[in-house]
Amino acid sequence: MGAERTDMAAGGTSRRALLAMIGTVAGSAAMYHAMTRLGFAADSTYRGLPNLQGAPPGSTVLVLGAGLAGLTAALELRKAGYQVEVLEYQQRAGGRNWTLRGGDIVTELGGGVQHVGFDAGQYVNPGPWRIPYHHAAVLDTCRRHNVALEPFIQVNNNALLHNSRAFGGKPVRWREIQADFQGHVAELLGKVTNAGALDGSVSKDDKELLLEALRQWGALDRNMAYVANRASSERRGYASPPGGGIAGAPRFSDPLSREDVLDSRLWVWLAEAFIYEFQTTMFQPVGGMDAIGKALFAALGPEAIRFGRKVTEIRQDADGVRVVHVDAAQGGEALTSTAQWCVCTIPLTVLSQTQIDCSPALRAAIDAVPYFSVVKAGLQFKRRFWEEDDGIFGGISYTDLPITSISYPSHGAFSGGKAVLQGAYAWENPASYALTSLDPAERVRQIVEHGAALHPQYLHEYENGVAVAWHRVPWTLGCAGNWSDEARRDHYADLCALDNRLILAGEHASYLPAWQEGAILSALDAIERLHRRVMGG
Amino acid sequence: MGAERTDMAAGGTSRRALLAMIGTVAGSAAMYHAMTRLGFAADSTYRGLPNLQGAPPGSTVLVLGAGLAGLTAALELRKAGYQVEVLEYQQRAGGRNWTLRGGDIVTELGGGVQHVGFDAGQYVNPGPWRIPYHHAAVLDTCRRHNVALEPFIQVNNNALLHNSRAFGGKPVRWREIQADFQGHVAELLGKVTNAGALDGSVSKDDKELLLEALRQWGALDRNMAYVANRASSERRGYASPPGGGIAGAPRFSDPLSREDVLDSRLWVWLAEAFIYEFQTTMFQPVGGMDAIGKALFAALGPEAIRFGRKVTEIRQDADGVRVVHVDAAQGGEALTSTAQWCVCTIPLTVLSQTQIDCSPALRAAIDAVPYFSVVKAGLQFKRRFWEEDDGIFGGISYTDLPITSISYPSHGAFSGGKAVLQGAYAWENPASYALTSLDPAERVRQIVEHGAALHPQYLHEYENGVAVAWHRVPWTLGCAGNWSDEARRDHYADLCALDNRLILAGEHASYLPAWQEGAILSALDAIERLHRRVMGG
């Protein structure tokens, strides 16, 4: 049954037939699209890899750090004709593009050691864990290097929202707060609109449209009231949902009162569904985020990277760059690497403790950016109780407890058996510092303890866990650059500027801090400028 | 690295250690959960398969129709000890649980024939295509019969909303209408709240909370205004998004005006994200919805079903049921099947044309329910331009054109090559009747033509398509039971009641019309009542 046969059977639905008539029908919309191209044009600054070419024979670059920025820079510079040497503190490539699995050992500042006890196939991404659809550079990296992706579930309407001081400490469903907040807002605005409060500012036609919109969008009844009925239950869920046969008559649920919704402050979480970086559709690499770093490392080849090297000095003069580095584990004898140019992707937290020959402006920029404090945990449970008992498949529950959130795996739904969820994601709040201050065992214990307030099944199902406190990670000393508006105004251009033979790259040298996209785009921007300088531009 | 070692390393995070302290910490919340169990308890009436047992030896049941309701009824009745015979009009089991692939032939009333020309691996589900997380009976069916599921993307913030009479006929992004509608609503309510319009009805404390909530939820600035800034761009998207290095400074986007948003009426689509049946996380069977029907058929075995039989008479008396059926394709000689009981899952559209010995009340109920008019299309394109050009991965775009929506495949993102999208889903509106009235070739042609208004790439990328108009499908004559409140009040109990030896089941005998969950729950409810009667209850 070939395509030709089908087109004939369908009678003129072939492309040829379409071409003849589409102009008249689609009209100006088609013209508009043809000219502007929707999509990445507006969603990303990424325009594909830069086509760098023609580096003078013998050109050399030292790349410091083998995270996504360093790996990207090294690969593209080598393509352009540079000899590249990469120095990396860890014994692995990827940097914060990192996945923990059973058998891994996490050693942190302070001496704490965690032996990851997950079963085979289980993992947690302690660093980046999700890829927005508009992070085109990351997605294109995955495409070029055959990193398989699967959907990442960010928003789950059936996940829990929990404030230990609201609703008697009981979690409620996201959909309940979402529907009820929206319903009450629509009802309030509908009432004052009907009472004429907007008559001066909204036209009569728009007033009618607004009322119609509020009624539908807010699930209001004919009297513009948000009450227990089919409309509101079709948003917030039913007391007893529609079923089959005689037994299936639904019972509507009672909305939470406006006062209870407002007082609960659980509406603070609703915006998580609207934020540009969290919008559908998000992705994750199949099997763990580190698939990206591994793929880039495989493309670069092991001979290009020296692992286990801690950079202690970055020296430069008119002739070149000289980097001093020691064995990362034991200190030991210093070695020196030299090159004509240097791309440095070392986190600013570490770099600010490093001796560098650079302008005072760059030094000030390096010292100006604090790093986010983040604690993330992976917990293994005997079974997927969040799916089996609670109907939560992927997505995130939020709480005012120090763990901040519980994130359920987007993969392996219905697979039965053990599973790992992300049991904490404390981000730049007092709790993240408090959890960081604990030794790992106590940190995990408290994370499990808090999670049980949302899921008492923790009691019976918990097996083992690991909690990474990013300020204690020796090779980054923090999660990501936390730029204030003031710091960016005063220092960002200096941080990104080519300083003689040295240029910085990494998520900290981007407007997308903490995102892998920022790291890659920063690297591409840096090497383009570096190459232009090399070529005499 | 065993679990024991890990627990020791993590110092007391074992389950034993947890058990000792969790009661005091989690407190009343844990107690609450232990008693009520979140999840399916509130989300579904399904409590697992009924454990029917002990049918008297020699008990026989005729099941009419081998859709999900008929297959479920047949399987469970056989387990209970009944001899079961199933009569099915089609040459396949599954009913509306149906997937079209290359080589399939669709013959409709009026004589139209479509030869599906999709490439290998491509498919469209002309009937049900998504499974809500709370459709526990369907999900449990999949679990028991090893039907692999994957996430179905319903809401896509980057999909298009299109009104041919708004914005010059140009589609806009979902996220733009969503953010701007919400922002303008928040701004309006914030203004009147600040002006004192709510002072009589909202307490002073709640007024402050409301203003804070509106500011955050609506992305308003400090003056409660919705304007072009970082906050609004972080909802609606940027004119130029944040990037890396020197080149990465973002440019904010300009919100659409309140008037334009209201006048566009595109807010009508926003509720699609909030509806209970469309909430995250939804699923689809890997490779096509018909995996469910195939699995149930495999469990039942081919010997239990007679295919290609059109039921013409359903007779019953004190001794049993006698069903007359003819060859579905050619009419031909009538055969008769007999049994003690009959479970009839034939759609009411067809049943109303069938001679039945039943009460006037049941007959009136059968005749009381019109069926939804639905047209659905699958279109094959040479490439995934919606992903590659437009950044749309899964989800649904909506339009006022007759196609109503374009739904992008939730599977195979980034896979390159050809792909099939759902090019129309006209649901019980004038357009659905108009499209139904056309011969298939012209129907497909118009669907492609309309789709090009949203995606001009249709011009170059379209290959072939198929469009199912459900009112022309000979074995169902409509999509699903369209119960009015009045019809349900007057006839539903009669429709579901055991009528001597005959009982009806199917989505039409449920409060979840058009959903597979309704079909299965209806079947379980029906056979439980039938079995109770058989056992003398």
Q: What is the pLDDT of residues B45-102, one digit of tens each?
A: 898 999 999 999 999 999 999 999 999 999 999 999 999 999 999 999 999 999 999 9
| Nearest residue in chain B measured CA to CA from A217 | B271
Contact B497 A246 (CB under 8 A): yes
pLDDT at B261: 98
Contact A262 B5 (CB under 8 A): no
Label residue B39 by pLDDT band (50, 70, 90). Answer: very low
Q: Which residue has the higher pLDDT, A13 or B467?
A: B467
**Per-residue pLDDT for B405 more than 70?**
yes
Label residue B40 by pLDDT band (50, 70, 90). Answer: very low
Lowest-confidence pick of A295-299, B14-18, B167-171 = B14-18
CB nearest to B22's CB, from A21, A197, A449: A449
pLDDT at A44: 85
Across B99-130, b (16+ Cβ under 10 Å) vs e yields bbbbebebebeeebebbbbbeeebbbbbbbbb
pLDDT at A15: 40
Distance to chain A for B387, nearest Cα, Å: 8
**Per-residue pLDDT for B8 more than 80?**
no
Contact A245 B522 (CB under 8 A): yes
Contacts of B37 in chain A (CB under 8 A): 389-390
* Token pair belonging to B465: 């398509």
| Nearest residue in chain A measured CA to CA from B444 | A13
Task: For residues B118 and B106, give the distance between their C-alpha atoms in angstroms, rounded to a whole number.
Answer: 13
Q: Which residues are paired to B416 by β-bridges?
A: none
Number of CB pairs < 8 Å for A and B?
554
Task: For residues A387 and B103, give the distance between their C-alpha atoms in angstroms, rounded to a whole number.
Answer: 38
Contact A276 B235 (CB under 8 A): yes
Domains plus CATH for chain B?
Answer: 3-37 (no CATH), 60-94+304-369+483-534 (3.50.50.60), 100-158+281-289+372-472 (3.90.660.10), 173-264 (1.20.1440.240)
Contacts of A245 in chain B (CB under 8 A): 496, 505, 509-510, 521-522, 524-526, 529
Contacts of A224 in chain B (CB under 8 A): none
Residue B219 near residue B231, CB atoms below 8 Å: yes
**SS3 category, A284:** strand
**Per-residue pLDDT for B16 more than 50?**
no
Q: Which of A14, A131, A158 has the highest number of chain B CBs within 10 A, making it the mutation to test binding with B?
A: A158
Contact A219 B274 (CB under 8 A): yes
Contacts of A505 in chain B (CB under 8 A): 244-245
Task: For residues A23 and A92, give the distance between their C-alpha atoms in angstroms, rounded to a whole number.
Answer: 55
Task: For residues A238 and A242, give the distance between their C-alpha atoms in angstroms, rounded to a whole number.
Answer: 8
CB nearest to B246's CB, from A143, A186, A496: A496
For residues B126-145, give the mean pLDDT: 97
Residue A61 near residue A87, CB atoms below 8 Å: no
pLDDT 10s digits, A120-173: 999 999 999 999 999 999 999 999 999 999 999 999 999 999 999 999 999 999
CB nearest to A10's CB, from B188, B465, B526: B465
Contact A389 B5 (CB under 8 A): no
Residue A344 near residue A64, CB atoms below 8 Å: yes
Amino acid identity, residue B278?
F
* φ, ψ of residue B477 in degrees (nearest 5): 55, 40
Contact B521 A168 (CB under 8 A): no
DSSP labels, A105-135: EEE-TTS-EEE--PPTT-EE-SS---B-TT-
User: CB burial class (10 A; 0-12, 13-18, 19+) of residue A92?
Assistant: middle
Contact B243 A133 (CB under 8 A): no
Distance to chain B for A445, nearest Cα, Å: 5
Contacts of A102 in chain B (CB under 8 A): 1
pLDDT at B42: 61
**Per-residue pLDDT for B502 more than 50?**
yes
| Nearest residue in chain A measured CA to CA from B249 | A511
pLDDT at A42: 61
Distance to chain A for B258, nearest Cα, Å: 9
pTM above 0.90, yes or no: yes
Contacts of A203 in chain B (CB under 8 A): 259
Question: What average pLDDT does chain B have?
Answer: 92
Task: For residues B411 and B421, give the distance between their C-alpha atoms in angstroms, rounded to a whole number.
Answer: 11
For residues B366-374, give the mean pLDDT: 97
Contacts of A461 in chain B (CB under 8 A): 15
CB nearest to B389's CB, from A39, A279, A505: A39
Lowest-confidence pick of A37-46, A428-437, B239-248, B473-482 = A37-46
CA-CA-CA-CA dihedral for B128, B131, B137, B140, to nearest 10: 120
For residues B276-296, give the mean pLDDT: 97
pLDDT 10s digits, B301-337: 999 999 999 999 999 999 999 999 999 887 788 999 9
Q: Which residue has the higher pLDDT, B43 or B426?
A: B426
Q: Which of B216, B240, B246 has the highest number of chain A CBs within 10 A, making it the mutation to test binding with A?
A: B246
Distance to chain B for A100, nearest Cα, Å: 13
CA of A150: how far to CAs of A73, A77, A286, A414, B150, in Å? 26, 30, 6, 16, 10
Contacts of A11 in chain B (CB under 8 A): 439-442, 444-445
* Ranges under pLDDT 70 in chain A: 1-42
Query: Can you list the alpha helix ranges (DSSP code H) found in B45-165?
Result: 68-79, 136-144
Cα A139 vs. chain centroid, distance in angstroms? 13
- Per the document, the length of chain A is 537
- Of all residues in chain B, the percent with pLDDT exceeding 70 is 92
Contacts of A279 in chain B (CB under 8 A): 157-158, 175
Contact B462 A18 (CB under 8 A): yes
* Token pair belonging to B243: 């990037």
Contact B281 A413 (CB under 8 A): yes
Q: Which of A464, A507, A520, A529 has the highest number of chain B CBs within 10 A, making it the mutation to test binding with B?
A: A464
